[in-house]
Chains A and B, each alone.
Chain A
C-alpha cells in the first residue's frame, strides 16, 4: 500500500520516476489538491511503487475465489451478464400490469414492483387525497390488487423484486396469488427490497413504519418464515443506497452497509438460525455515483471486506455465504433538472462504474428521473444504455478489467482502510442497531451531506448546467408531466371501498386478533400471521396499523 512496502527490482524506475516528478512540478506550477468524495487524496500518477501485486493471492485472488475482489463468480459476465432490472410502478394495478406485460413481451426475465408512496406510509388508498395516489408507484393494498397486477405473469419462472418494507405485505399478497394459481411457494424467486429497516430509520424516510424494536422482530420473523417456506426468495436486501443518497460518502456508505449486514446476521444467529443457512440469501443494494473510479474501488473493496467478515467474524463455512451479491442503481442524486438530456451521459458513466465494479443486477435511471416518474420512452433509453454498454462497448468480455491498475488497486486499498474505519466506529458504538438508535450514523451522514452541498455551491465540485456551463433553457421545451388518470384512480378507490364492505367482518377481525396476539407472543411468528391475514382479505393498511398499535410506531429522528 505504501511506497516502502513495494521494492520490486525495477532497474531505472526510481530515476525515471524522479525525472517525471521534476517535469510535472515544473510544468504544472502550483498543483491543486484533488480529493474524492470519501476524502481520499488523489495523486496525478500511480506506479509500481504504489501497487505491485506482491500480495495478489491474499488481496485479490481469482474470480469466484476468496476474497472475491475480482468478482464473485468464476465466469462473471462472460458466462452470464448482469440482470437488467428496471424499477416499475405507476397508477392502478391495471396500469402496472399493462406495462409489465409489454416488458415481458420485450424479453425481460425479471420484474420489479414499486408500490405507491401511500403504501410506504403504511396506509390504504382510501385514506389519502387521490391526487397523490399512483404518482410514484402502484396502488396495491390487497391480494386482489396483486392478482390484477400480476395477471399473465408466470410467477414460478419470473423473478420479482418488490419494494416491500416491513411488514412485507406485498410478498404476503404475492404468496396468496401463488396459492390461488397453484404455483408452489418453493418455485418463487425474487427479493424483498427495502427490507433493511435500519437504513430506513437512518436515511430513507419514505418507508418508515414500525418502531425500531418492532421492525427488528418482524424482519427476523420474515427471514425465518421465508427460509422455511419460500427457500428461493431473498428475504433481506441490505441497502446502502439510501445512506449514499442522503449524503453519506461512498466509503461511509459501504461501512454502514456492511455493519448493518453484520447486525442482521448476528440477530439471526441469536435467534438460533444457522449462519450459512441465512447468509446464502443475503443480498445488497447500492447507489452508483458518477465518481467513477471511487465507485469501482468501493465495490471491489466492499466485496473483499464482506468475504473476510462473513468468514472470519461471522464464522460462515459455505463459500456462497462469503459472496457479496449486489444490485445497484445509477444515482439520481447526480442527475440534474437543468438540461435533462445530459443525464443520459451521466447514467452511462455511472452504469460503467457499476459494471467495472462487478454488480449482479442493475437499474439505470431514466434521464427524466430528476423531474418525474419516467415515461415509457425515457425508460427505454435507460435500458438501451445497458444494452449498448454490453453489446457495442464490449464491457463484458474481460473479467474485472480495471484489476491490476496501479491506481485502482491503490484506491481499492485506501477505500478499504476508510471503510474499515467506519466499521470500527460502529463497532465501538455497540453495532449498527445501537448506533442508529443513538443517532450517531444520522449525524455523520448529515455532516457529509452539508459538506458536499458546500462543495457544489462553492463550485469546488462542478456540476454541468448547475454551477457551470449553464444555458438559457426555454421552459416550454420541457415535456408535460405524465400523471395517472385521476378519474380512474378514484374508481379504483371506490372499488376498494366496496371490496372492504363486502368482506366478512368476522374473518377480518379474527385475522387481525391473531396477528395482534402473535405480536405480543415471543413464540409465534408474526410474518406467518401477516401471510394468513392477507389471505383472509385483510388490507395492507389494516395489517400495518394493527402492528403499529402492538409494536409501536416509529418516529424517525429529526436531526437538521
Chain B
C-alpha cells in the first residue's frame, strides 16, 4: 500500500478534547500507530480546541485522532472549523470511541473522515490513518504548488 511507504512517516496527533478523561483507548491507539512506524504526538486528556489547533500547527501533523468516550464528540465540529480557520484544512481528522448512532451523521457531515467504535481492528485503524495522511500530504502539496505558481 502506497500510504505505508509515506516518507517522512505520517505525523499523527492523538488527543482528547473536552472534559472526558477515559484514556485507555487513546493510549492503545497511540501505541498501535507508533508500532506501525508513524510519528505519534500524544497528549493527555482535556485539551482545549485552541490548544489542539496550536499543537497541530507546531507539530506539523498530517492527521488528528480524537478519542471521545463521554459526549465530547459534540464539540468536534468546532475543532474542524477552527482548524480550517487556521489554514489547516488539509489535516485529516478521525474520531474513536463511543459516538451514539443518531449523532454520527453530524460528525461525518462536518468533515470527520471516519468514526472507529468498539470492535475496530488495529489494521483498520492503521490503514485508515495511513491513507488519511497520504491524502493530507497530497492536498497540501497541490496547495503549495498553486502558491508557487
Contact = CB atoms under 8 A, between A and B. Distances in A.
Interface of A: 117-118, 120-121, 128-129, 131-132, 135-136, 204-208, 245-247, 336-338, 370-372, 446, 449-450, 453, 457, 466-467, 475-476, 478, 480-481, 483, 555-556, 558-560
A386 to B, nearest CB: 25
B117 interface: yes
Nearest to B33: A560
Given A246-B24, A481-B100, A338 B42 contact: no
Contact of B118 (A246, A338, A475): A338
A208 B46 CA distance: 11
Contacts of A556: 44
Contacts of A338: 118-119
B119 A466 contact: yes
Contact of B71 (A132, A336, A555, A560): A132
B40 interface: yes
A245 B31 CA distance: 18
B27 A446 contact: yes
Contact of B75 (A129, A483, A559): A129
A466 B118 contact: yes
A450 B28 contact: yes
Contact of B21 (A207, A336, A476): A207
A457 B119 CA distance: 9
Contacts of A118: 19
A132 B74 contact: yes
Given A208-B21, A560-B31, A337 B102 contact: no
Nearest to A121: B19
Contact of B101 (A117, A128, A207, A478): A478
B111 interface: no
Contacts of A131: 74-75
B136 interface: no
Given A204-B21, A205-B44, A560-B40, A117 B70 contact: yes
B42 A337 contact: no
Contacts of B43: 558
A560 B24 contact: no
A558 B42 contact: yes
B28 A449 contact: yes
A555 B121 contact: no
B103 interface: yes
Contact of A120 (B14, B19, B24, B100): B19
Nearest to B28: A453
